[in-house]
Amino acid sequence: MRRKAGKNSKFLKPNFQTSKFLQRKREQHTLWCWRSIAMEYLTITLLLLLLINFTGSITYDVIYKLRQD
């Protein structure tokens, strides 16, 4: 048996504003999720590029010194 949602009822009426609010909140949450994932991937790629750069310069220095000998 369903109860009607009155003033003192525990259940909320399906209100248009609350549904819009929840929809906006959900969209913001998904945007935040995608933004955090993108930032994570950007930092990982930046760190990998820095690592490749440093290892490349070190190996270049080693090869250059070996050629001089």
User: Using alpha carbons only, what angle is made at residue 35 by residues 30 and 39, rounded to the nearest 5 degrees?
Assistant: 150
* Average pLDDT, integer, range 23-43: 90
How much is the pLDDT for 20? Answer: 80
| 3 Cβ neighbours under 8 A, 6+ residues apart | 9, 11
Residue 32 and residue 24 in contact, taking contact as beta carbons nearer than 8 Å: no
How much is the pLDDT for 10? Answer: 59
pLDDT reading at 12 higher than 80? no
Give kind and range of the element (H or E) at residue 48.
helix 16-68
| 14 Cβ neighbours under 8 A, 6+ residues apart | none
